[in-house]
Structure 1
Amino acid sequence: MRYLFIALLSVVSTFAAAQGAPNPGADKPVNQADNYAEDLDIAKAVRNTNAASATCGPVKGHVVYVDSQGVRHELDYRRVGDTCPHS
Structure 2
Amino acid sequence: MRYLIVALLSVFSTLALAQGESASSPAVQAYDYSQNLDIAKVVQISTDPSTECGPVKSHMVYLDSQGVSHGLDYVRLSDACLQG
State TM-score, norm by structure 1. 0.61
Structure 1: segments with no counterpart, 5+ residues: 1-25
* Cα deviation 1:15-57 (Å, max 9, x = unaligned): xxxxxxxxxxx83412111111111101111111122211111
Residue of structure 2 equivalent to 1:29: 26
RMSD: 2.1
1:57 maps to 2:54: yes
1:40 maps to 2:23: no
Choose which of 65, 70, 80 in structure 2 pairs with 1:73: 70
Name the aligned partner's letter for residue 36 of structure 1: Y
Q: CA deviation at 1:85?
A: 5.2
Which of the pair has the greater relative contact order for Cα pairs under 8 Å at 6+ separation? 1
The structure with more radius of gyration:
2
Structure 2: segments with no counterpart, 5+ residues: 1-22
Q: Secondary structure at the match of 1:53?
A: coil
Q: CA deviation at 1:69?
A: 1.6
Q: CA deviation at 1:65?
A: 0.4
Residue of structure 1 equivalent to 2:19: none
